[in-house]
Amino acid sequence: MRSLGILLRKELLATFGSPIGYTVAAVFLLVLGYTFSLTLFATKVANLIYIFHQMYVLTILLVPALTMRAFAEERRNDTLELLLTAPVGEIWIVLAKFLAVYGLVLAMYCGAFAYVGVLEAYGSPDWGPIGSGYLALVCHAALIVAIGLLMSSLTENQVVAAALTLGTSLMLWFADSVAYLLPVPLDSIVLNLSLIGHFRPMVTGSVFVSDIGYFVSGALLALFLTTRRLAER
């Protein structure tokens, strides 16, 4: 655990000290603020369901820019070998990078929590869907960040890492659309891989263990594969 603390401090300094992180956070909050204003004044309804879906999309689009540097830059600068020869396990290296980026994404979500205050001040929001919606976003972000780290561990090119992360996330997003074109039993298997299929119920207030398990197990699998990838080096 001491190794994790040291590595996490290093990664937090790198993540929160990088202009990329602040740029991504600024774009995220500006786009979200614009969308929230339009939605609130257009619908006059005190809910955040549309905003949660907007955050879902922005997470898929912007997180690849945060994770692409995780291992790709280390490999390009020939510092990954030095890190792997240090007396720390690969799992701690992966967890430190994951928690640093994940912490930044959660900080972005906290910035968007101001919209809840606006709804409370000018309306009577339904707190059930709001709570489950933020839970869905927290689970969703964990999976996307974990996928980003896995893709970054496969290449030393940051752009390729970002493209692989975005492509994988989009494939999972539209898995439900492709499922109907496949024969039985492949259709049900692909349908269960759908990101939006597990995200949508939680946003509307229906929290199922299977949906949470999808995000958690997917994130753990991606982190495990990332660890194995580093161990092979």
Exposed / middle / buried, residue 114 (Cβ in 10 Å: 0-12, 13-18, 19+) = exposed
What whole-number distance in Å separates Cα of residue 127 and Cα of residue 116? 9
Q: In terms of pLDDT, which residue wins out, 53 or 186?
A: 53
Return the closest-CA partner of residue 49 out of 59, 40, 60.
40
Q: Using one digit for the tens of pLDDT, what is the confidence trace for 124-146?
A: 767 778 889 999 999 999 999 99
pLDDT of residue 139: 96
pLDDT of residue 233: 65
Angle separating helix axes 127-152 and 49-67, nearest 10 degrees:
20
The pLDDT confidence band at residue 186, using thresholds 50, 70 and 90, is confident
Q: In terms of pLDDT, which residue wins out, 122 or 32?
A: 32
Q: In terms of pLDDT, which residue wins out, 171 or 186?
A: 171
pLDDT of residue 137: 95
pLDDT of 3 above 80? no
**Percent with pLDDT over 90 in the chain:** 39
Instruction: State the pTM of this model.
Output: 0.91
Least confident of 75-79, 105-109, 138-142: 75-79
Residue 88 φ/ψ region, left for φ over 0, alpha for ψ in the -120 to 50 degree band, beta for the rest: beta
pLDDT of residue 130: 84
**Percent with pLDDT over 70 in the chain:** 90
pLDDT of 45 above 80? no
140: domain range? 2-232
The residue written with tokens 């964990």 in the block is 142
Averaged confidence pLDDT in the chain: 85
Angle separating helix axes 127-152 and 209-232, nearest 10 degrees:
20
**How many domains does one find in the chain?**
1
pLDDT of 92 above 80? yes
pLDDT of residue 205: 82
pLDDT of residue 191: 81
Q: Using one digit for the tens of pLDDT, what is the confidence trace for 7-39?
A: 888 888 888 888 888 899 999 989 888 888 777
pLDDT of residue 60: 96
The stretches of 85-126 forming alpha helices (DSSP H) are 90-112, 114-122
Return the closest-CA partner of residue 139 out of 96, 203, 90.
203
DSSP type of residue 86: S
